[in-house]
Amino acid sequence: MSQWVVLAVNSFSFGGLLFLLSAGFSLIFGLMRIPNLTHGSLFMLGAYIGVTGLRLGLDFWSAALLSGLAMAALGGVIERFLLRRLQGQELPQVLMTLGLSFIIADLCLMEWTGDPISVSTPGALRGVVPLLGFVFPIYRLAIVLIAVVIAAALWLMLDWTRLGAMIRAGVDDAPIARVMGVPVSRLFTTVFCLGAGLAGFAGMLGAPILSVYPGLDAEMLPLALIVVILGGSGSLLGALVGSFVVGVLYNFGPALFPELAYVVLFLPMLLVLVLRPQGLFGRQSL
Amino acid sequence: MRRAALALAIIALVTLPYWIGGSYYINIASQILIWAVFALGLNVLVGYGGLVSLGHAGLFGTAGYAAAWLVAAGVGQLASGVGAIGLTVLMSALFAVLALRATGIGFLMITLALGQILWGIAYRWISLTNGDNGINVSARPMPLGLSLATPSAFYIATLMVFGLAVAAMASFVASPFGACLRGTRDQARRMTALGYDVWLIRFLAFLFSGFWTGIAGLLFCYYDQFVSPHLLTLSSSAEVLLMVISGGSGTLLGPIAGATLVVAMKTVASAYIERWNLVLGAIFVAIIMLMPEGLVPGSQRLWRWARRGRDLAAAATSR
């Protein structure tokens, strides 16, 4: 019994991490119409930069913030100087992000070597809380809380601010938004920075659970892809629901069917693709 | 002129084991041919169908694993080869049914996800695939009783398959079916209006592409006599896509030139530096930024441009 509770807690904390990763991925996909294949690399690079921050004597939260800011800056550079040059050509843009992901992965391997690096849980959040006869690790609960807070903030931003209204307009119909005077190109940069920053922050946040190792990027990217296909591109609610679904599958799958873990993970995605190609909460088809 | 060049190329390829010097180089030539077959197969979809797949390494690996299992299970070499290709075509049909629900970026994402599933199976389903340790293939087949154990014998066999692949591609491009596929790439809606079943054309093209990918996978399995999940990684899919794009998608020569370039770069790069993925990524980015149409059309354009410049200069001086 307690094994299932542990799995459930792990599912939700992993879902929370996944939401931080895929919210940006989903917004970028919704707005720019491209899956940003560097997203997993930004997650991994964020974690590595956080590790370096810790080694330089920063505390955990400053390091996580540093990761987020560094990745936001890198995302801005990628969008402004590389993707912008290929504006309107979606396929070359995707291939560009794929090429960049190989470069980032190899540079990480060069700088931080191939050994996995484990990161200790920040001091205040170590230990467990007893609840209803079970014990829950505080850090994992904190991740869920952070994800929910960020989800709420993103929702407020998207639904209640001018910037959010412009992003929604861009997701719905970029050419018309442009005609109406929405600076869509500047939105691309903003959303890319935001998404990249969240991915980097999530990388560091996940480091105490997942540790940091080469291949983390390739592990996370398909998950973000599944989340977006499940939830529908550009939909925040879709990303949230999709993340928790994938979090559950990712943790329960290997426990129930150890050898078919990946099949269990991808099966719902295939079902959604066949039955509802635009995703559970998406409005437009892929 | 064209014919002479073709004849020269064939003579050079057939006699390659005699002049290239050393089995190391013969093996590299075999690798180039295998990857060229793979790239030609992918080019059917990418170049002529306008459908960019990032999951073809999964099909490549399916053929390799299937052959390895069947051989290990004691099935004869011929039967296991045919079985492996059959299974790969079936897998391609499954891929096609799922992926052809979308085109463009959606198609790319679905094929990527499908490729990752197959990789996950190869990596995690240890009782079936032996996980990361891979499966050894005890011996190369002996078609008509001829041994393919030596590098040059294997090279010649690969060259014959490669020749078949090129001939198949050439006739495919010239065929009405090839024209239909190009039509669905350029004007899908108009093709529908003309009464063509666009989905079916794409589906058949996927099977054709999967067939040659399977042939390449089978050759690679015999070449290496070993299959591992590494064959199915996203970076394999990206590598072969890079071959198609760098050489020039939608041309016959492009994927072959791309395969030569990428395999040569990989061999040279890994002799000097460990960072192959870095080089791969950098070429990817550079090609997309500087020569998006690929090397073969790109250099043809440069050639025409240079010739026109020379003609203009000649005209100016004669005046």
The confidence score (pLDDT) of residue B249 equals 84
Contacts of B128 in chain A (CB under 8 A): 259
Interface membership of B132 toward A (CB under 8 Å): no
The confidence score (pLDDT) of residue A1 equals 59
The confidence score (pLDDT) of residue B206 equals 96
Q: Per-residue pLDDT tens for A233-275?
A: 778 888 999 999 999 988 888 888 877 777 788 778 877 877 7
Q: Per-residue pLDDT tens for A71-95?
A: 999 999 999 998 888 877 877 888 8
**Chain B: residue whose CA lies nearest to A96:** B285
Q: Count of CB atoms within 10 A of residue A285's CB? A: 13
B290, B296 in Cβ contact below 8 A?
A: no
Residue A186: pLDDT over 80: yes
* ipTM metric: 0.77
d(CA A96, CA B172): 30
The confidence score (pLDDT) of residue A286 equals 38
DSSP state of A121: P
Interface membership of B289 toward A (CB under 8 Å): yes
The confidence score (pLDDT) of residue A284 equals 53
Contacts of B120 in chain A (CB under 8 A): 261-263, 265-266
Q: Count of CB atoms within 10 A of residue A260's CB? A: 17
Contacts of B53 in chain A (CB under 8 A): none
d(CA B171, CA B262): 26
A170, A177 in Cβ contact below 8 A?
A: yes
d(CA A78, CA A193): 9
Mutate to test the interface with B, among A36, A98, A256 (most CBs of B within 10 A): A98
Which stretch of DSSP H or E encloses residue B226? strand B226-227
Interchain pair B281, A226: CB under 8 A: no
Contacts of A286 in chain B (CB under 8 A): 102, 104-106, 109
The confidence score (pLDDT) of residue A285 equals 42
Chain B residues 76-105 with a CB less than 8 Å from chain A: 98, 101-102, 104-105
Give the count of Cβ contacts less than 8 A between chain A and B.
120
A53, A162 in Cβ contact below 8 A?
A: no
Mutate to test the interface with B, among A33, A38, A81, A102 (most CBs of B within 10 A): A102
Contacts of B284 in chain A (CB under 8 A): 95-96, 98-99, 102
d(CA A209, CA A116): 12
Tokens of B259: 């395969």
Phi, psi at B152, each rounded to 5°: -75, -35
d(CA B106, CA B111): 9
d(CA B65, CA B60): 9
The confidence score (pLDDT) of residue A196 equals 95
Q: What domains are defined for chain A?
A: 2-275 (1.10.3470)
Amino acid at B231: L
Q: What is the per-residue DSSP string for chain B? A: -HHHHHHHHHHHHHTHHHHS-SHHHHHHHHHHHHHHHHHHHHHIIIIIS----S-HHHHHHHHHHHHHHHHHTT--HHHHHHHHHHHHHHHHHHHHHHHTTS-HHHHHHHHHHHHHHHHHHHHH-HHHH-GGG-EE------GGG----SHHHHHHHHHHHHHHHHHHHHHHHHSHHHHHHHHHHH-HHHHHHTT--HHHHHHHHHHHHHHHHHHHHHHHHHHHSEE-GGGGSHHHHHHHHHHHHHH-TTSSSHHHHHHHHHHHHHHHHHHH-S-HHHHHHHHHHHHHHH-TT-HHHHHHHHHHHHHHHHHHHHHHHH-
Contacts of B54 in chain A (CB under 8 A): 98
Q: Per-residue pLDDT tens for A134-165?
A: 777 888 889 999 999 999 999 999 889 999 88
| Positions of chain B with pLDDT under 70 | 316-319
Nearest-CB residue to B120 (from A34, A225, A261): A261
Query: Average pLDDT, whole number, for chain A?
Result: 87
Q: What is the per-residue DSSP string for B262-319? A: HHHHHHHHHHH-S-HHHHHHHHHHHHHHH-TT-HHHHHHHHHHHHHHHHHHHHHHHH-
DSSP state of A130: E
